[in-house]
Amino acid sequence: MIAITNLTIETAHENLKNGAYTCRELLDVYLENIKRRNKELNAYLEIYNDVYEQAEIATEKFKNGTAGLLTGIPFAIKDNILLKGKIASAGSRILENYKATYDATVMKCLKKAGAIVIGRTNMDEFAMGSSTQNSAFGATRNPLDPSLVPGGSSGGSAAAVAGEMALVALGTETCGSVREPAAFCGLVGLKPTYGALSRHGIIAMGNSLDQVSPFGKTVRDVEIIFKALSQYDEEDSTSVPEDLRKGKNSAGKKIGVPWHLFKEGVDPSIMENFKESLEKFKKAGYEILEIETPTSKYSLAAYYIIMPAEVSTNLARFDGMRYGYHEEADNLLGVYKKSRAQGFGREARRRILLGTYVLSHGYYDAYYNKAIKVRQKIRKEIMNTFETVDLIATPPAPFLPFKIGEKLEDPVAMYLCDVFNAPANLSGTPSIAIPSGKNNKGLPFSIQLTAPHWREDWLFEAGKKFESIR
Ligand code: GLN
């Protein structure tokens, strides 16, 4: 029996290399778990039919000496990442049968590395949500307690890893969609610097915010994935060329905490755990300072204008004509109306309406332009803050995983999940969520660290340190 509970990429690699087990044997353990648990958890929407061929390719790499760290590693990928010939539905009825015609750049990298992509995972429709209940294909449940949500929007990927149905996974972040489910499922989740990983072949939600983001059980695992996928891609005009990927110098040990952001209501047990985590960092030689980022409190407000504006533009292409869900009607306008009304779910329609409104003549300056200005101010403020501290710490989410069905009728309560995530997405800085203990019901706590642009290495260093002392 292969023990996978504490398995990491490096240990799996060693074992595959020295023949303790084969790629196929390792894969089979995860497939067994999928058989046992996926029906209840709904983490995967599809298990690919070529997983054994992928395992053979990986085995071949071990035989001919071209295997790397990711060779034979079982991955789950979010349903908005294109893989040629496979369905990518973004959790939406409108793309239910859409088959990708090319590989996303990150998938090309994984294929080249010989990773095994087990299947595509459930998500909130077009990545809009914080609980994976907005999927057209049913909610995903939290493997730690199936009566709870796994977080979202990449909840399927998080549940796949936490439920031992993949060793690691890819999700995407527009605002917290990997850090929040990582926190809810007891995993590590990294949102890289904007422009580090290619967005080519990712179904767009908010282009100026989206980033492919890895999940793992350890900081080292997400570091390995980040390093394998972080590279300039000429197919993505927002990908940053290698020579411009330079961060601030001098990794010090100063952690700033924006206590003023905690006013919005943080669960007392999260607060307590967060303070304990800070104490641990202190003992490990870090200095904890209070910081003031007054504009950050407008992050959510700015995000919920900029994102729907981009969403309404991006989703305009789903018109029922070119591809995706199609409804017959008497005329073209009728086709658009019917296809879109029935193809999109409630949250998608809500955001299309909001976005169209804030971009419309007469409201553009009042809302969209203002939000853009606020975003620039937030970015500047965060960059200034990094003149005095090296990392910023908060919890990733203000509350613990909630019940399936909760907050569904109250979109604003759901939007509050993102309160600590938004500054990193708006400013493009890298940010990581790391498990920081459990409560008496076994539910995970988590700490979030944010670093200056291109200083993922500081997150990894502090994160590994924290793993060794938590
Ligand atoms: N909670 C965020 C939202 O609903 C999640 C967005 C994301 O990161 N994909 O917009």
How many angstroms separate the alpha carbon of residue 180 from the centre of ligand 1? 10
Identify whether the C-beta of residue 451 lies closer than 8 Å to the C-beta of residue 393: no
Q: Cα 71 from chain centroid?
A: 22
**pLDDT value at 264 more than 80:** no
User: For the chain, what percent of residues have pLDDT higher than 90?
Assistant: 95
Identify the active-site residue in 130, 131, 135, 153.
Answer: 153
Decide whether any atom of ligand 1 lies within 6 Å of the 153 Cβ.
Answer: yes
Burial 272-293 (b: 16+ CB within 10 A, else e): ebbeebbebbeeeebebeebeb
Which pLDDT score is estimated for 371? 98
CA distance 25 to 394: 40
How many angstroms separate the alpha carbon of residue 93 from the centre of ligand 1? 19
Decide whether any atom of ligand 1 lies within 6 Å of the 130 Cβ.
Answer: yes
- To the query of whether residue 153 is one of the catalytic residues in this protein, the response is yes
Tell how many helices (H) and how many strands (E) occur in the chain.
15, 11
**pLDDT value at 166 more than 80:** yes
**pLDDT value at 385 more than 90:** yes
Please state, rounded to an integer, the average pLDDT across all residues of the chain: 97
3-class DSSP assignment, residue 34: helix
Apex 469 CA angle, 432 and 274, nearest 5: 55
pLDDT bracket for residue 414 (50, 70, 90): confident
Decide whether any atom of ligand 1 lies within 6 Å of the 456 Cβ.
Answer: no
User: For the chain, what percent of residues have pLDDT higher than 70?
Assistant: 100
Which pLDDT score is estimated for 263? 82
Decide whether any atom of ligand 1 lies within 6 Å of the 270 Cβ.
Answer: no
pLDDT, tens only, 189-230 = 999 999 999 999 999 999 999 999 999 999 999 999 999 999
Substitution candidate for ligand 1 out of 157, 418, 421, 426 with most atoms within 8 A of CB? 418
Apex 25 CA angle, 22 and 28, nearest 5: 150
3-class DSSP assignment, residue 335: helix
Decide whether any atom of ligand 1 lies within 6 Å of the 203 Cβ.
Answer: no
**pLDDT value at 308 more than 90:** yes
Strand order in the sheet with 431-438: 44-47, 116-121, 74-78, 168-173, 211-216, 188-191, 431-438, 444-450, 391-394, 254-257, 287-290
How many angstroms separate the alpha carbon of residue 59 from the centre of ligand 1? 38
CA distance 128 to 418: 12
How many angstroms separate the alpha carbon of residue 63 from the centre of ligand 1? 42
Ligand 1 atom index nearest CA of 418: 1
Identify the active-site residue in 78, 108, 217, 407.
Answer: 78
Say if strands 188-191 and 168-173 run parallel, antiparallel, or are unpaired.
unpaired
**pLDDT value at 12 more than 90:** yes
Say if strands 74-78 and 116-121 run parallel, antiparallel, or are unpaired.
parallel
H helix runs in 177-328, sequence order: 179-185, 219-229, 268-283, 299-314
Which pLDDT score is estimated for 114? 98
CB atoms within 10 A of CB 63: 9
Across the range 386-391, mean pLDDT stands at 96
**pLDDT value at 30 more than 90:** yes
Better-scored residue on pLDDT, 236 or 470: 236
Q: At 260, list the tokens.
A: 């003023």
pLDDT bracket for residue 253 (50, 70, 90): very high
pLDDT bracket for residue 143 (50, 70, 90): very high
- To the query of whether residue 157 is one of the catalytic residues in this protein, the response is no
Which pLDDT score is estimated for 413? 84
CA distance 210 to 327: 30
CA distance 344 to 68: 41
Question: Domains of the chain (ranges plus CATH)?
Answer: 1-470 (3.90.1300.10)
Across the range 126-140, mean pLDDT stands at 98
| Distances 451 to 15, 110, 191, 254, 462 between C-alpha atoms, Å | 34, 26, 11, 11, 10
Decide whether any atom of ligand 1 lies within 6 Å of the 422 Cβ.
Answer: no
Identify the active-site residue in 131, 135, 154, 177.
Answer: 177
Which pLDDT score is estimated for 16? 98
Using CA positions, which residue lies closest to atom 4 of ligand 1? 129
Give the closest residue to 447 by CA, choosing from 464, 456, 461, 434. 434
